[in-house]
Amino acid sequence: MPESTPDPGRIVSLDQFRGYTVLGMFLVNFVGSYAAIKASLPLLAHHHTYCSYADTIMPQFFFAVGFAYRLTFLRRWERDGPRAAWAHAIRRNLGLLLLGFVIHHLDGKYNSWAKLRELGLGGFLQTAFQRSFFQTLTHIGVTSLWVLPVIAARPAIRILYALFSAILFHYLSAEWGYYEWVLKRPGIDGGPLGFLTWTIPLLVGSLAYDAMTEGKPAVLRFVFWGAMLCLLGYALSCLGRVPTDLAGSDWRALLVEPPFVPPAEKVNIWTMSQRAGSVSYLTFGAGFSLVVFALFALACDRGPVRIGLFRTLGTNALAGYIIHDLVNGAIKPLVPSDSPLWYVFTGCGLSLMICYLFLRYLEKRALFLKL
């Protein structure tokens, strides 16, 4: 039986943190592909060779998912019993996978019935689920199902489960060639096995929820453990430079560039990479998420800070995710890839404004998209 839950009610810091993350997603998903951004503000783009600001956004979503997942699962367990809690979690995440199929689509396009028949069911299953399907919504759904056996467990069990998932992912990447495959394909956010490392920020979010139930937000503890995870992620990224002869090596030769700094050498399996879903990247991302959340806990739960924009975005994040894709699809064709910086941000500002107007409209009418 899991421990008891606190009094129901929205946690302001979580809504504000989630709203900031949604705003960050709107920003980087619009501007990240433009040449002017990559030249002048490269931290706003995904590079797949180091951790940029853009790469910190998705781990924060998983952190927020893990926090809310444990909260709602324990409440339903207490109110309706374990069977109902499990059934609701399974239905919710299967629904998220169905939504992921509609939003992200499958790989492949078949121009004739003959080509589809030639491919066959086996060929279809082998090729259709390699790339497009495994994006944000699918990764959240699969990862949430993967951690379901431990989401109500005590902290030590969840930590061990995250460690097991990370080791399993690295083993499959190194020994079974998954790392080379996901980069060459290329995969998205770790590809079909990415759920193993997305487990790390999700379960760290669940641990943060536990700390929040103990009374006042454990801000200093969040900062400390967040910093430790960031250091661990960086230390893991340095393993790719360990020489065969440690005795004659300068310790500085063991260090790679820190996060947010492009690498000077060829990347490898230990490099922080969102495309690869590497263990080092998700460990650092989980720690960074915890530190950022600590700032919101301090400002919003201990302090009086309430930002209306973050509230509007944070309380309807799923709707925001769907809407921003549609809005970007309407605005980005009007902003050429070689546009100057001012024009890119003008287009981005227009996209953000339209997204906000839609979400504010829904908020005023208490319409929230949830699964």
Pairwise CA distance, residues 30 & 327, whole Å: 10
The two three-digit tokens of residue 67, written as one number: 């926090």
Q: Is the pTM of this model over 0.75?
A: yes
Q: Which residue has the higher pLDDT, 148 or 114?
A: 148
The H-assigned helical ranges of 215-274 are 219-237
Q: Report residue 93 CA to chain centroid gap.
A: 16
Q: What average pLDDT score do residues 322-335 get?
A: 97
Q: What's residue 244's pLDDT?
A: 53
249-264 pLDDT per residue, tens:
666 778 899 999 999 8
The two three-digit tokens of residue 14, written as one number: 């979580």
Mean residue pLDDT of the chain comes to 92
56-84 pLDDT per residue, tens:
999 999 999 999 999 999 999 999 999 99
Torsion, CA 181, CA 183, CA 184, CA 188, rounded to 10: 100
Q: Is the dihedral of CA 309, 312, 315, 319 positive or negative?
A: negative
Q: What's residue 218's pLDDT?
A: 85
Percent of the chain with pLDDT over 70: 94
Q: What's residue 125's pLDDT?
A: 85
Q: Which amino acid is at 82?
A: P
Pairwise CA distance, residues 103 & 91, whole Å: 18
Q: Is the distance from CB of 36 to CB of 330 less than 8 angstroms?
A: no
Q: How confident is the model at residue 216 (pLDDT cuts 50, 70, 90)?
A: low
Q: What's residue 40's pLDDT?
A: 96
| pLDDT above 90 (res 119) | no
Q: How confident is the model at residue 243 (pLDDT cuts 50, 70, 90)?
A: low
1, 78, 98, 157, 220 from 87: Cα distances, Å: 16, 14, 16, 22, 36
Pairwise CA distance, residues 347 & 353, whole Å: 10
194, 330, 336, 344 from 340: Cα distances, Å: 35, 19, 9, 6
Nearest to 16 by CA among 288, 222, 368, 303: 303
Q: What's residue 5's pLDDT?
A: 39
Q: How confident is the model at residue 1 (pLDDT cuts 50, 70, 90)?
A: very low
125-173 pLDDT per residue, tens:
888 888 999 999 999 999 999 999 999 999 999 999 999 999 999 999 9
Pairwise CA distance, residues 143 & 101, whole Å: 16
Q: What average pLDDT score do residues 95-113 get?
A: 92
Q: Count Cβ atoms below 10 Å from residue 293 Cβ, excluding itself.
A: 30
